[in-house]
């Protein structure tokens, strides 16, 4: 019986792996791929754009959808442009270089509006035009490139889309130029000094990743991730990096001995220079260590936080809770205009960084608490603390319903929700609506040009009785 049902389902799927089909593309998916249909069956096609007719070859078939690869663009969209990057077709770092920047902004706004409508059933919420980046290229202040080897050639660069095959990358167009210089220097040094490269299959070798971080004043930090505690010829590595990179002020070794895909291990050693570099957001300065969280697009992060501050609508008398404060960047922005701000974060090292950031910026009205927001916030409420505003910037998974109920139970006048995932944002806004909170508007912000990712800030207010 089961075999008959399986055969019947297979017969209903109108496409076959390896076969060629012509299909129209209707929209972009959440990962920047084109989405079309063949005999009402959904097909995802990377590098295809809405309004195009494409000839595709089917590479994967599932029960409810298939994936195809563009063989030929039969009718191109007027919004299609030549990709800026010579390895774009192979690299998995960007998804939208073939789409004009104005059209990227429109597509990201549409992605947010569609999520609100279809996931949250919130079609009436205004979604503003995506806040554009003044510099949509070379904006990333942080680089994490794997190091590999192929036929004796050292590779440093991005992973190919959907794989762990390294695409040798000499000029990533979304990376700060100093990070590209670091990657190129590291490739030459590893080859010159014959330092063994880590092999994911055999778990032998030394060099795993090179990480670069660049501050606003162009100070550069290098973090060499190794699979061994000892870095062979460490003094030579340091000397050669310093000779090649005049803006280099800090070199660390991070030790990652585990056989997994986590980039950094727990132990980090300073090999030379300063332990941190300094970056700034507005009037605030932040010490950035190898493991610190800091937004990768500094200029757009400022605009994101300014929008958060605008929605919080602070006048100096308010009490604010920042429920997922991380290293305190948003918290300290809020503290500049609030009476008191409480930052809550379950990761203790992040709270230690947040407290240091507060001291360094001479901010005394921010208090940072280690713990789960669902436990800390009720405890604050029992102490008589009544927040006027709650700010939340959760991970991509969004907030649990328990967390959202905790927010609502404290009855703030406003909730400002910062999100990197339109789908979970839409889900959570729908739950908040049931809890008596109405979303007034959503502002998309383009922190990641040339990619499918979009940040959002939502203004939510308590329903008047």
Cβ atoms of 224 and 197 closer than 8 Å = no
| Helix-strand-coil split of the chain, %, nearest 5 | 25, 30, 40
Do 447 and 455 contact (CB within 8 A), yes or no?
A: yes
Contact assessment for residue 35 and residue 51, using Cβ atoms and an 8 Å cutoff? no
CB contact at 8 A, 307 and 319: no
The DSSP 8-state label assigned to residue 128 in this structure reads P
Report the alpha-carbon angle 365-371-375, nearest 5: 100
Contact residues for 413 (Cβ-Cβ < 8 A; gap 6+): 388, 389, 461, 462
**C-alpha gyration radius of the chain:** 24
Catalytic residue check, 85: no
The rounded distance, in Å, linking the Cα atoms of 426 and 112 is 8
**Helix and strand counts by DSSP (H, E) for the chain:** 10, 21
Contacts of 332 (CB under 8 A, 6+ apart): 284, 354, 357, 358, 361, 363, 366
345 is known to lie in a ligand binding site: yes
**Whole-number Å distance between alpha carbons of 196 and 67:** 38
Residue 91 DSSP symbol: B
Among candidate residues 55, 91, 325, 420, the one labeled active-site is 420
Q: Which residues contact 138 (CB under 8 A, 6 or more apart)?
A: 173, 174, 175, 176, 177
Beta-ladder partners of 458? 417, 442
Contact 213, 276 (CB under 8 A): no
324 among annotated binding-site residues: yes
> What is the C-alpha to C-alpha distance for residues 381 and 330, in angstroms, rounded to an integer?
22
Annotated binding site: 295, 324, 345, 393
Q: What residues are labeled active site? A: 420
Annotated binding site for S-adenosyl-L-methionine: 295, 324, 345, 393
């Amino acid at each position: 019986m089961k075999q008959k049902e399986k055969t019947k389902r297979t017969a209903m799927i109108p496409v076959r792996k390896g076969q060629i089909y012509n299909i129209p593309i209707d929209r972009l998916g959440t990962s920047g791929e084109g989405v079309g249909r063949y005999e009402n069956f959904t097909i995802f096609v990377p590098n295809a754009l809405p309004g195009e007719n494409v000839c595709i070859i089917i590479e994967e078939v599932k029960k409810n959808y298939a994936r195809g690869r563009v063989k030929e663009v039969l009718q191109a969209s007027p919004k299609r442009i030549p990709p800026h990057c010579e390895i774009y077709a192979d690299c998995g770092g960007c998804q939208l270089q073939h789409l004009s920047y104005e059209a990227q902004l429109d597509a990201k706004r549409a992605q947010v509006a569609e999520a609100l409508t279809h996931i949250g059933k919130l079609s009436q919420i205004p979604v503003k035009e995506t806040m554009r980046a003044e510099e949509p290229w070379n904006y990333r202040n942080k680089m994490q490139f794997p190091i590999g080897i192929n036929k004796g050639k050292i590779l440093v660069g991005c992973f190919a889309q959907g794989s762990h095959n390294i695409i040798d990358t000499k000029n990533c167009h979304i990376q700060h130029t100093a990070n590209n210089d670091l990657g190129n220097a590291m490739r030459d040094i590893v080859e010159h000094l014959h330092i063994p490269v880590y092999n994911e299959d055999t778990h032998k070798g030394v060099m795993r990743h090179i990480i670069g971080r660049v501050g606003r004043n162009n100070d550069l930090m290098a973090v060499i991730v190794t699979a061994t505690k000892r870095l062979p010829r460490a003094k030579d590595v340091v000397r050669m990096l310093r000779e090649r990179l005049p803006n280099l002020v800090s070199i660390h070794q991070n030790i990652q001995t585990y056989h997994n895909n986590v980039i950094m291990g727990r132990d980090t050693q300073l090999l030379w220079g300063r332990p941190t570099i300094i970056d700034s957001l507005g009037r605030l300065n932040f010490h950035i260590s190898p493991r610190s969280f800091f937004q990768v697009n500094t200029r757009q992060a400022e605009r994101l936080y300014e929008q958060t501050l605008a929605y919080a609508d602070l006048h100096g008398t308010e009490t604010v809770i920042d429920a997922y404060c991380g290293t305190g960047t948003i918290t300290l922005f809020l503290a500049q205009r609030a009476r008191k701000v409480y930052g809550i974060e379950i990761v203790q090292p992040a709270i230690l960084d947040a407290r240091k950031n507060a001291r360094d910026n001479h901010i005394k009205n921010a208090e940072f608490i280690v713990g789960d927001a669902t436990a800390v916030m009720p405890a604050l409420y029992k102490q008589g603390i009544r927040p006027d505003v709650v700010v939340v910037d959760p991970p991509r998974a969004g907030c649990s319903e328990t967390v959202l109920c905790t927010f609502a139970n404290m009855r703030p006048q406003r909730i400002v929700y910062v999100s990197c995932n339109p789908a979970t944002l839409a889900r959570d806004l729908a739950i908040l609506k049931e809890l008596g909170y109405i979303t007034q508007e959503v502002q998309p912000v383009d922190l990641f040009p040339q990619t499918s990712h979009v940040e959002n800030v939502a203004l939510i207010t308590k329903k008047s009785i």
